Amino acid sequence: MTDTIERSDTAGNDRVLDHLVVRFAGDSGDGMQLTGDRFTSVSASFGNDLSTLPDFPAEIRAPAGTVNGVSAFQVNIADHEITTPGDEPNVLVAMNPAALKADLHRLEVGGTVIVNEDSFDARDLSKAGYVDSSDEPVNPLEDGTLNGYRVLKVPMTSLTKEVCEPLGVKPRDAERSKNFFALGLVSWMYTRPTEPTEEWIGQKFAKNEQVAAANTAAFRAGFNFGETTEAVGHRYEVRPATLPAGTYTSITGNQALSWGLVAAGQLAKLPITLGSYPITPASDILHELSKHKHFGIRTVQAEDEIAAVGVALGASFAGHLGITTTSGPGVALKSETISLAVAIELPLLIIDIQRGGPSTGLPTKTEASDLNIALYGRHGESPLPVVASKSPADCFHAAIEAARIALKYRTPVILLSDGYLANGSEPWKLPDVDSLPDISVPFATGTNHVDDDGNEEFWPYLRDPETLARPWAIPGTPGLMHRVGGLEKADGTGNIDYTPQNHERMTELREAKVAAVTADIPPTEVEGDVDADVLVLGWGSTWAAIDAAVQRRRRVGVKVAKAHIAHLSPLPPDLGDLLRRYRKVIVPELNRGQLAHLLRGTYLIDIISVSKIQGLPFKSREIEAAIDAAIESLGADSEGGAS
Amino acid sequence: MSTAQVAVTTKKDWTSDQEVRWCPGCGDYGILLAVQQLMPELGVAPENTVFVSGIGCSSRFPYYMNTYGMHSIHGRAPAIATGIATARPDLDVWVITGDGDGLSIGGNHLIHALRRNVNINILLFNNRIYGLTKGQYSPTSEVGKVTKSTPVGSVDAPFNPLSVALGAEASFVARTHDLDRKHMQETFRAAHAHNGASFVEIYQNCNVFNDGQFSDITKKTNRENMMIDLVHGEPILFGPDRERGVMQGTDGFLHIVEVADVGLDQILIHDEKNDRPSLAFALARLNDDDHSPTPFGVFRNIQRSEYAQAVSDQVVAASERRGPGDLGELLASNGTWTVG
């Protein structure tokens, strides 16, 4: 059951597709991200639902023409609501032999391959590793490698050079416009509007008219090539989706997260100070927030990850919403300061855009293997709330939720996103700004305790009885001067206190405060069959693949339900009871079963852990297979009797 | 910073109710007293003052000041203070650190706070030993120092804290010592008046683990011959009759000379405002050990762009240019389309 084009429309018109997955692949210098991005934007404004997967190497420029240097952008466009960038592309655009070598195996059986024929010369074939046993180049366009695929061989480089020549563009420069030729051709094949792209080229390259002219010419040439060359065949159409009414924009996870942070500052009525150190795939948040100073946002590019979180914590102490953004290696470095934030009980947001680990690992590839470090990666008993976003657009709301918890409970909160969400994009129905929650909390303004002699005094660790949060008294407030620090504090006064009972009490209070967050967690939503025996439980970016998998199994009559949790610490209060309602619980994770272990330990429920650790998101097919296996094992369980 | 409306305070207003817990006889007591006495003279209010420290004996300091304070983690005080000062340029922010805290585990934050020129006052208590962990050598300990962790002598070459600060582009660099309250107070006063990062090294005696480290210089009877007072605009002279001085030789290096031998006009005039740090650096390295004449006072005091204010100015400029942030406008800024 592959992710192929599934139907003809009711009129029997075989040229209408319900969805289409295109993968643009080329050398890092070929502009594939830009090309994919344009195709996405045009499709978004055309009204398709969509989901994208940029997939690029860690090296800025790996040696040109090699498989290591291949950069790709996959986009799924549909006439209905979708959540994933598609398991298998229907169309692969390969700008050079290396791209074909790297990505052909991803293409659906019988899919369409569009190659830049000019690049399939002896030199590029050798660089891509298309050689025989005596190291002689072998051309996959001729040796049967592509048997069974629909192949379009287009001399994109030479056609682009040709069309640019009259513009006075040097051949070497003209060659750089060949990605627009590819975009033009694909735009024709799949009936994309051309005006938005031509307009965009005019704006983007306004400062260099010749480049704008070359790109436009190449784009039109590609489009016309499709129209006039019989070999290209039919045009296909993916009609607009019927999405819920509203105003939409196209957004990546990192941009949505950044805007969520901006919104959190506004909703909390607090200025923001971001301390950050550049790290893939989180740096875009630093870039984005640096643009929005007029929202009262200060950004500090610190000397290292430790300083970055130090700056954020200092800002929180001073009365700002202190934020730090990073990825796994940075979380490890920040660990000691996060523990200090646990001890001094101040709001602090730590954003972890997860990537493949350990160590530098796969910096540009996705993984969700920082759940354990988020939950446990601190010394001492240092619990804190952990929240995860599930889709690019959801990063906006997850950021607000994480900030809300941090402020209300005066605690560091870790928000987990990942590389897939960070760089992936989807249409987002814009929320009504006025409907966003007020997350502001008051600063302490006066004394809160009277001593035995009747003197009014300020106790920095006198807690709110409901939330257990301590007062947030910021510098500049007369009469509330106090000292906080990493040494254990006496319950109430906050003075240094090493007594055994006090340490135990403070440890329990810090734990109870984090547990108190459950009061705000809404009931866990379950979708799917009410009488299902199998539940798929997810967290983070697995949401998309789980959603697609469950829908597809249900479409063929399989009974299955799904739930997705945003709160990883504390867990939703209803989760244990919910899990016990099912005979089998599947937890797919882009790690080695970190949530599965937690659930087993917390609820003493057996969990079927489905693990993927390839730097790539799940395909829905992989989760479908797990659902089928779980259902099959139910049969085996009954047959096997008491086992 | 407006000083007009600040209520008059006394040392008592700056002293917290916490019992001071340094070892009896520790040099830290003298520094604490100097600061507590000085604060009422600086025209700032306790509620607008923040003391931030790292870890070590000196880092207990904030607990004893009746101001806002944070006893943070080892080495990180300059980073946390940078956050406080950047968020709130209206506050008066002090960092208390030591030779281990500031120059070993926290060396990176120290140099970057100085490079950025954040408006914080950094007081580095240099006792050339790890006191809190009970006596290991520090990054300012001399080669050959015998300690618990170096039973046959350390082989590490030490840092010269002032060289580090000057090398890190510090705009204010000074040295004082724990036995002269008045000198400390004048030095701290100048550090506080400086707009930007101020770095003050304080020779501080650890009477338990490194007693007498600086006695050859700072003991009352030695001071005239061993301490060189730097005064801006004055020739650099010392000795009971100011008969010795510092001269820049034709080789470009600084030399200690007898005034009678060279003439007063050959003695170097101290210029703390000199944009080029070379002479300040040479002065910082005039004493190559703790047994030779050592300069004290302000080595360098120049004006350059202050970080927190510059960050704040960008925020203000953006608000003036674009108006206050509008969330609805932001969410629509990628371009939108309407369905239904």
CA distance B195 to A533: 69
Structural domain includes residue A191? yes
Amino acid at A497: D
Whether residue A3 lies inside any domain: the answer is: no
Whether residue A4 lies inside any domain: the answer is no
Looking at the DSSP bridge assignments, the partners of residue A186 are none
B139 within a domain of the structure (yes/no): yes
State ipTM.
Answer: 0.97
With CB atoms and an 8 Å threshold, state whether A263 touches B327: yes
Q: For residues A607 and A430, give the distance between their C-alpha atoms in angstroms, rounded to a whole number.
A: 37
In this structure, the answer to whether residues A335 and A232 fall within a common structural domain is no
Edge-to-edge strands of the sheet including A246-252? A425-429, A246-252, B337-339
Is A299:A289 a contact under the CB 8 Å cutoff? yes
User: Mean of the pLDDT values across residues A566-570?
Assistant: 98
Give CA torsion, residues B306, B307, B308, B314, to 10 deg: 100
Per-residue pLDDT of chain B (340 residues; tens, 9 = 90+): 444 578 999 999 999 999 999 999 999 999 999 999 999 999 999 999 999 999 999 999 999 999 999 999 999 999 999 999 999 999 999 999 999 999 999 999 999 999 999 999 999 999 999 999 999 999 999 999 999 999 999 999 999 999 999 999 999 999 999 999 999 999 999 999 999 999 999 999 999 999 999 999 999 999 999 999 999 999 999 999 999 999 999 999 999 999 999 999 999 999 999 999 999 999 999 997 888 999 999 999 999 999 999 999 999 999 999 999 999 999 999 989 888 8
Question: Looking at the partner chain, which of A245, A315, A483 has a beta carbon nearest the beta carbon of B84?
Answer: A315
Domain-embedded: residue A123: yes
**Domain-located, residue B283:** no
C-alpha–C-alpha distance, residues A75 and A44, integer Å: 11
Residue A338 with chain B: CB contacts under 8 Å: none
Which pLDDT belongs to residue A538? Answer: 98
CATH of the domain at B43: 3.40.50.970
Shared domain check, A488 and A556: no
Domain of B154, in residue numbers: 11-213+305-309
- Is the per-residue pLDDT at A546 higher than 60? yes
Q: Looking at residue A94, which CATH number applies to its domain? A: 3.40.920.10
A2 assigned to some structural domain: no
Q: Which domain holds residue A139?
A: 16-238
The first and second tokens of residue A80, run together, are 């209905």
* Cα–Cα distance for residue pair A289/A572, rounded to 1 Å: 31
Task: Determine which of A41, A195, A254, A303 to mutate to test the interface with B (most B C-beta atoms within 10 Å).
Answer: A303
Contact at CB, A317 and B84, closer than 8 angstroms: yes
Q: Is the dihedral of CA A352, A357, A358, A361 positive or negative?
A: negative
Do A497 and A571 lie in a common domain?
no
How far away is chain B from the Cα of A640, in angstroms, using its nearest Cα?
A: 54
Do A485 and B71 count as a contact with CB atoms less than 8 A apart? yes
pLDDT in tens, A299-358: 999 999 999 999 999 999 999 999 999 999 999 999 999 999 999 999 999 999 999 999
Asked if A71 and A176 sit in the same domain, the reply is yes
> Residue A493 and residue B63: Cα distance in Å, rounded?
13
Residue A58 banded pLDDT, cuts 50, 70, 90:
confident
The size of the A-B interface in CB pairs under 8 A is: 213
Same structural domain, A213 and A266: no
Residue range A439-476, pLDDT digits in tens:
999 999 999 999 999 999 999 999 999 999 999 999 99
What whole-number distance in Å separates Cα of residue B236 and Cα of residue B264? 10
Residues A336 and A365 in one domain: yes
Nearest CA-CA distance, residue A293 and chain B, Å = 5
Which of A435, A466, A498 lies at the terminal end of a domain, its last residue?
A435
Q: With beta carbons under 8 A apart, name residues in chain A contacting B46.
A: 481
Cα separations in angstroms, B36 against B201, B237, B277, B297: 18, 31, 32, 20
Number of structural domains (chain B) is 1
Chain A residue with minimum CA distance to B334: A249
Q: What CATH number did the domain enclosing A303 receive?
A: 3.40.50.970
Count other Cβ atoms within 10 Å, centred on residue B6: 15
Number of domains in chain A: 4
Residue A226 domain-assigned? Answer: yes
Contact B68 A44 (CB under 8 A): no
Identify which of A255, A293, A496 has the shortest CB distance to residue B318: A293
Q: What's the one-letter identity of residue A31? A: G
Do A129 and A276 have their domain in common? no
Lowest mean pLDDT among A14-23, A246-255, A270-279, B60-69: A14-23
Token pair listed for A85: 């960038």
- In the chain, the amino acid numbered A187 is S
pLDDT at position A640, please?
52
The letter for the amino acid at A401 is: E
How far apart are alpha carbons A316 and A469 in whole angstroms?
A: 15
When the pLDDT of each residue in chain A is averaged and rounded to a whole number, the result is 94
A43 pLDDT exceeds 50?
A: yes
Report the alpha-carbon distance of residue A158 to residue A579 in Å, rounded. Answer: 60
Residue A387 shares a structural domain with residue A452: no
Would residue B236 count as lying in a domain? Answer: no
- Specify if A9 maps to a domain: no
Q: What is the pLDDT of residue B4?
A: 54
Of A181, A208, A238, which closes a domain?
Answer: A238
